[in-house]
């Protein structure tokens, strides 16, 4: 079968790899000159099965309202005259009930656990190197109230098979000595030993190279302008190459993995995908003093930031990422947000990183209202989805890629998850995608 993968981010590349492994002739199309150059470029690096709590949860509506006027809010809705944003907001509110939240968490943990195992297998099989660390994720709290509230979600994670343990501030410091500096402010932490971190972009580029060696064709610098339907199937995609030449590319199956841009190409086919871009920031800086820098991947609960240490033979870097702004497709860097992140790094680990060489980046998370990605079938027989991975596209990449490759091939996925267009436990999302 000729399988065409639309998009070469983490989700497109993992889809292409597993499709090729199942014996298909695979072509990947992307507008960028290199793979993983958009949202999969400089994310927080965490493989965090333990962080399955979706943005939409019972406490979210009040928090979001309080944050509306705060320029440095962790989750900021910039209200626009944009119908898609309003519809997304309404669907988000519907996902905030306790029952929906619980259901969404179950989906996210199930896919996350499978995906982390799939990543570990792939890493072992191909010998991939991407600054990976397997020292767990430590989520620390500087507010006693928030720490007290951490017990219930940690228990829920444990019930779902993810061993997120509540630990004292002293235990946290003994696990990560770099936290000693803020010991007086630390209320406590949770720790998930099985979680990991690594450079998602390095991983994606390494996997793309291996896929190309195995025969996957990459058509980079090709902008997809339309998907054309004939007789209830996609007949071809229309693209414009880097020189502005128009082409049609035909295939037997098409996997839509264009991140935040997926809904724009699906809408003319009458397929409404509930995905809206949620802009996030990251800062990357060289390590200045290795003894002051953290080793374990961290989550700062108060500032909603994640920290990963990316160490390769070429260099040792700190990657800090977070914040979410729902403001359409704008990717401009907001100085207030960038400076707030650098200030926090200096507060926590003074002297650890070289802030004078900080590199700032912003990417658009393809966010669904529920945080549950859209993986599976559409109403068009040969159009498949692997998109809408929001905050956890790196964590879910390998499991999603392997699952969609199996679905395209007519095989059952290996994980219990509400795949779209297949007997789904998520009727609302599936209906929206159908
Ligand atoms: C600040 C930040 C921190 C994050 N931290 C983490 C983390 O710690 N852990 C985690 O699990 N996840 C994290 N994420 C989420 C993760 O990075 C994303 O979910 C993931 O990168 C999405 O991958 P994707 O392949 O769906 O989209 P993308 O990487 O955006 O890929 C889509 C591709 O489609 C291409 N494309 C789009 N339109 C067209 C067109 N018209 N023609 C041709 N090509 C097109 C683009 O060029 C792009 O290459 C973070 C995200 C952000 C922004």
Q: Residue whose CA is closest, atom 12 of ligand 1?
A: 392
Q: Residue whose CA is closest, atom 6 of ligand 1?
A: 44
Q: Is the CB of 239 under 6 A from ligand 1?
A: no
Length of the chain: 434
Q: What is the pLDDT of residue 427?
A: 40
Q: What is the pLDDT of residue 105?
A: 97
Tell me the whole-structure pTM to 2 decimals.
0.96
Residues 361-374 pLDDT 10s: 999 999 999 999 99
Q: What ligand 1 atom has the least distance to the C-alpha of 278? A: 53
Residues 85-106 pLDDT 10s: 999 999 999 999 999 999 999 9
Check whether 357 has a pLDDT greater than 70: yes
d(CA 267, CA 273): 8
Q: Token pair of 188, please?
A: 């406590």
Check whether 71 has a pLDDT greater than 90: no
Is residue 153 within 8 Å of residue 329, measured between CB atoms? no
Residues 385-425 pLDDT 10s: 999 999 999 999 999 999 999 999 999 999 999 999 986 44
Average pLDDT over residues 272-301: 97
Q: What ligand 1 atom has the least distance to the C-alpha of 365? A: 53
Handedness of CA 364, 369, 375, 377 (dihedral sign): negative
Average pLDDT over residues 114-124: 98
Distance 45 CA to ligand 1 centre (A): 12
What percentage of the chain carries pLDDT values higher than 70? 97
Q: Residue whose CA is closest, atom 4 of ligand 1?
A: 43
Identify the band that residue 79 occupies on the pLDDT scale cut at 50, 70 and 90.
confident
Average pLDDT over residues 334-347: 93
Check whether 65 has a pLDDT greater than 50: yes
Check whether 130 has a pLDDT greater than 50: yes
Q: What is the pLDDT of residue 423?
A: 66
Q: Which of 15, 30, 39, 221 to mutate to test the pocket of ligand 1 (most atoms within 8 A of CB)?
A: 39
d(CA 253, CA 271): 17
Q: Is the CB of 363 under 6 A from ligand 1?
A: yes
Q: Which of 27, 32, 43, 334 to mutate to test the pocket of ligand 1 (most atoms within 8 A of CB)?
A: 43
Q: Provide the 3-class DSSP secondary structure of residue 249.
A: strand
Q: What is the pLDDT of residue 182?
A: 97
Q: Provide the 3-class DSSP secondary structure of residue 244.
A: coil
Residues 248-285 pLDDT 10s: 999 999 999 999 999 999 999 999 999 999 999 999 99
Q: Is the CB of 284 under 6 A from ligand 1?
A: no
Of 95, 117, 203, which is closest to residue 162 (Cα–Cα)? 117
Check whether 67 has a pLDDT greater than 90: no
Q: How far is CA 223 from the centre of its chain?
A: 23
Q: Is the CB of 281 under 6 A from ligand 1?
A: yes
């Amino acid at each position: 079968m000729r399988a065409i993968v639309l998009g070469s981010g983490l989700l497109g590349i993992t889809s292409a790899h597993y499709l090729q492994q199942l014996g298909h002739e695979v072509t990947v199309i992307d507008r960028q000159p290199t793979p993983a150059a958009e949202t999969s470029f400089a994310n927080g690096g965490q493989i965090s099965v333990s962080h399955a709590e979706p943005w939409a949860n019972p406490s979210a509506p009040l928090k979001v309202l309080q944050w509306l006027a705060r320029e440095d809010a962790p989750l900021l809705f910039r209200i626009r005259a944009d119908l898609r944003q309003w519809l997304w907001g309404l669907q988000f509110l519907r996902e905030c009930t306790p029952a929906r939240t619980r259901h969404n968490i179950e989906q996210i943990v199930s896919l996350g656990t499978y995906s982390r195992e799939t990543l570990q297998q792939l890493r072992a099989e191909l010998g991939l190197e991407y600054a990976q660390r397997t020292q767990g994720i430590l989520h620390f709290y500087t507010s006693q109230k928030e720490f007290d509230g951490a017990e219930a979600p940690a228990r829920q994670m444990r019930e779902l098979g993810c061993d997120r343990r509540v630990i004292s501030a002293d235990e946290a410091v003994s696990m990560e000595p770099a936290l000693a500096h803020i010991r007086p402010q630390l209320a406590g932490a949770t720790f998930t030993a099985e979680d990991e971190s690594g450079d998602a972009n390095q991983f994606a580029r390494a996997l793309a190279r291996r896929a190309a060696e195995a025969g996957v064709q990459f058509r980079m610098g090709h902008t997809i302008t339309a998907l054309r339907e004939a007789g209830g199937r996609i007949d071809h995609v229309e693209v414009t190459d880097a020189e502005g030449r128009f082409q049609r590319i035909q295939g037997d199956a098409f996997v839509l993995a264009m991140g935040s841009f997926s809904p724009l190409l699906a809408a003319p086919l009458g397929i409404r995908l509930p995905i809206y871009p949620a802009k996030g920031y990251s800062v990357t800086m060289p390590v200045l003093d290795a003894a002051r820098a953290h080793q374990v991947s961290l989550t700062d609960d108060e500032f909603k930031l994640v920290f990963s240490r990316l160490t390769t033979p070429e260099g040792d870097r700190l990657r800090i990422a977070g914040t979410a702004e729902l403001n359409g497709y704008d990717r401009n860097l907001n100085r207030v947000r960038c400076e707030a992140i650098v200030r926090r790094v200096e507060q926590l680990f003074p002297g650890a990183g070289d802030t004078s060489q900080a590199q700032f980046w912003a990417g658009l998370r393809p966010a669904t209202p529920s945080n549950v990605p859209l993986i599976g079938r559409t109403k068009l027989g040969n159009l498949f989805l692997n998109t809408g991975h929001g905050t956890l596209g790196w964590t879910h990449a390998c499991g999603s890629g392997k699952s969609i490759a199996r679905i395209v091939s007519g095989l059952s996925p290996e994980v219990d998850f509400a795949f779209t267009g297949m007997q789904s436990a998520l009727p609302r999302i599936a209906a929206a995608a159908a």
